[in-house]
Amino acid sequence: MSPVIELYDTTLRDGTQGEGVSFSVDEKINLARRLDEFGMTFIEGGWPGSNPKDIAFFQKAQSLPLKHAVITAFGSTRRAHVQPGEDANLRELVNARVKVATIFGKSWDFQVKTALRVELDENVAMIRDSVAWLGQQGLEVIYDAEHFFDGYKANAEYALATLRAAAEAGARTLVLCDTNGGTLPHEISDITARVVRDFRTPIGIHCHNDSGVGVANSLAAVAVGAVHVQGTINGYGERCGNANLVQIIPNLQLKMGRRVVTDAQLATLTSLSLYTSELANLPPDDRQPFVGRSAFAHKGGIHVSAVQRDRRTYEHIDPAASATISASWSPNSPVNPTTAPNWRNSASPSTATRPRPAASWNASRRWRTPVTPMKLPTVRWTSSSAASWARTSASSPCTASA
């Protein structure tokens, strides 16, 4: 039996590092509720040692009736040559009254010398002391090994020594971070496999998308033994963004056979993606895999003809599996895609129900309808000319739980 994969969402913290992304305290609370309903294992609420907003969030989060997720607080290792109990950042993690703290430390000797400007041995001590002290305060500790892959490629012995310090001090999970987003999937696989082989502590992965392979890197790490995956909804994050959980989760569950949420929870993925876009005041990506409005849309005549016969000809999964809408259109002959054979059943009903997003974005950058639990509409297609079509829908008694 495959080990359980932990989903660690950092939208509320790392996601807000992206340009144009900002959440109020109440918005963070509301999004935390939705992430919990979806089935996230961990929700990183913020960095209480960095700003008053995050301190306020952790105060309000104490009353959140979460069913699935554990709220975590984020911070760094102690400062150089300071005792952990005297470090304000570490004390704020304790004051946040969480059960799990996530701290990051330096893995790359170049970063230690250039950014921190401390001795290599002192950096290792900072990691060990910080993890151990937080454990003594009753917290479980997830250790994020910042720049781990760059550090490993530059000085593998030192990078592994920093991990060993965290593991020996009692970290529950060691998370390998591709902080600059420059590592490729084959490198992720090779290095992660080595770490999984050498450490008994569970290994996690945290990727950024600067090379366009954040999702691929995360999946590659899981394939060789990582059991904890960090990312953000819609891939929000600094520079080119973080690894996108909206794409990672269905790939894990539908392609790799790693069950991470229930089928009912997976069916709310589109709604969660749209809800997060709305809170961030950013337009949804129509071409986002699995959940975008165009993810299962077909325009070319050859594609439409084939899809009418069997959807598997040009669709990699059953779109209903991720609660997306499928739309087909040909400029010469508008067709009703819902009359095509069902993915799993050769029967072809005259009408079909198919999930669709509950809200859409228009040119004025305002939501046409509020994000509500998705309906499973009966879709009918009409056309006034060969080059235009309109969609109408009638409510179905079926609903997908939000």
Is the pLDDT at 170 greater than 80? The verdict is yes
For 278-288, what is each residue's pLDDT tens digit?
999 999 999 99
Judged by DSSP in three states, 76 sits in strand
Q: Considering the domain 6-261 in this protein, what is its CATH number?
A: 3.20.20.70
Share of the chain above pLDDT 90, in %: 73
> For all residues of the chain together, what is the average pLDDT?
83
Is the pLDDT at 17 greater than 70? The verdict is yes
Share of the chain above pLDDT 70, in %: 79
| pLDDT confidence bin for 334, thresholds 50/70/90 | very low
Nearest to 103 by CA among 93, 113, 117: 93
| pLDDT confidence bin for 301, thresholds 50/70/90 | confident
- Can you give the residue ranges of every domain in the chain? 6-261, 296-394
User: What is the mean pLDDT of the segment spanning 6-10?
Assistant: 98
Residue 103 pairs with which residues in a beta bridge? 75, 143
User: What is the mean pLDDT of the segment spanning 177-193?
Assistant: 98
pLDDT higher at 300 or 156: 156
Predicted pLDDT at 398: 25
Is the pLDDT at 324 greater than 90? The verdict is no
Amino acid identity of residue 211, one-letter, is S
Residue 111 burial (CB count, 10 A): 18
Is the pLDDT at 395 greater than 60? The verdict is no
Is the pLDDT at 262 greater than 70? The verdict is yes
